Amino acid sequence: MMRGWIPGTPIFASMSFLRNAGERTALARQELARRAALARQPQPSGVRGPQKKLLWGELASLGARKAAPEAPRPAVNPQPVMLLPGFGAHPMRMRRMERALAAAGHHVHHWGLGFNLGPTPENFAYLLRRTVDLARMHGRPLVLVGWSLGGLFAREIARRQPDAVAKVITMGTPFSGDRRANNAWRAYQFITGLDVDEPPVPCEFAVKPPVPTVALWSPRDGVVHPRSACGRPGERDRAIAMRCTHLGFNSDSRVFAEVLRQIDRED
């Protein structure tokens, strides 16, 4: 029997399969090299992310024991809320916040897309539809709470569908300044194969959506530069400093309490 030949398969078909498999392997190697080149791009002059010691603090926080959050006060005005996870995160990473908001009386929804592996025209179109559908189901606009990259989705959704969004709350979201002012842009470019300056969905990250917009940021953030997450006047309505790591935005009870306050606040 000839090596590489599958019994019952014409030999020419088998050879074609091997050729196609070889072509696929070559294409995969080319794509890997392209993404590696994206990840090796130099940092622009004058642009930097948080200090490396803060990044190490993020890694240390992964093993830290999380205190159980205090029971939240009942919401003044229970509202529909959609949570949007950060890059590489699954909605389950925001389950502690989900529970805190639900315990206060809010109607909390996942974003419906599983892991956040970056934007595509298809997943962004889905989020626009989901936001409108949920707003219609509840009979009122949603509050969008976005962590990191999820906050960029939230701001752009609100910019395009303001009638379906009551408020946007971002947490450690790099919406202001240079898109490389963080310690995650190389990982983003390698994983998505996209250049941060050329998103697949046209976006105006720093343009404030026409709804109340709140930016939670932290001087201890080891992933996104505080200035980028805080933004400038005119790019958001309020900026509120927290004392947590970037990863802590989804697990710190002080963040939960602030998010609840901001949802209740009448703008």
Cα–Cα distance for residue pair 216/265, rounded to 1 Å: 15
In the predicted model, is pLDDT for residue 47 greater than 70? yes
Distance CA 142, CA 128 (A): 12
The confidence score (pLDDT) of residue 214 equals 98
What would the mean pLDDT of 216-227 be, rounded to a whole number?
96
- Give the containing element (helix H, strand E) for 93: none
Where does the pLDDT of residue 4 fall: very low under 50, low under 70, confident under 90, or very high at 90 and above? very low
Least-confidence region, from 9-13, 117-121, 159-163 = 9-13
Within the chain, strands assigned E span 80-84, 107-109, 142-147, 165-171, 213-217, 238-241
Average pLDDT over the chain, rounded to whole? Answer: 89
What is the distance between the alpha carbons of residues 201 and 155, in angstroms, rounded to a whole number? Answer: 13
**Cβ within 8 Å of residue 191, ≥6 positions away:** 35, 88, 117, 118
Copy the structure tokens of residue 132.
């409108």
Map tokens 């949603």 to a residue.
142
Identify the structural domains of the chain with CATH numbers, from first to last: 79-264 (3.40.50.1820)
In the structure, what pLDDT confidence band is assigned to residue 267 with cuts at 50, 70 and 90?
confident
Smallest CA-to-CA distance from 234 within 161, 176, 162, 147 is with 176
Mean pLDDT of 39-53: 89
User: Between 10 and 107, where is the model more confident?
Assistant: 107
**82-107: pLDDT as tens digits:** 999 999 999 999 999 999 999 999 99
Closest CA to 191 of 129, 250, 149: 149
Report residue 200 as tokens: 């697949």
Mean pLDDT on 110-132: 96
**Quick one: which H or E segment has residue 23?**
helix 11-39
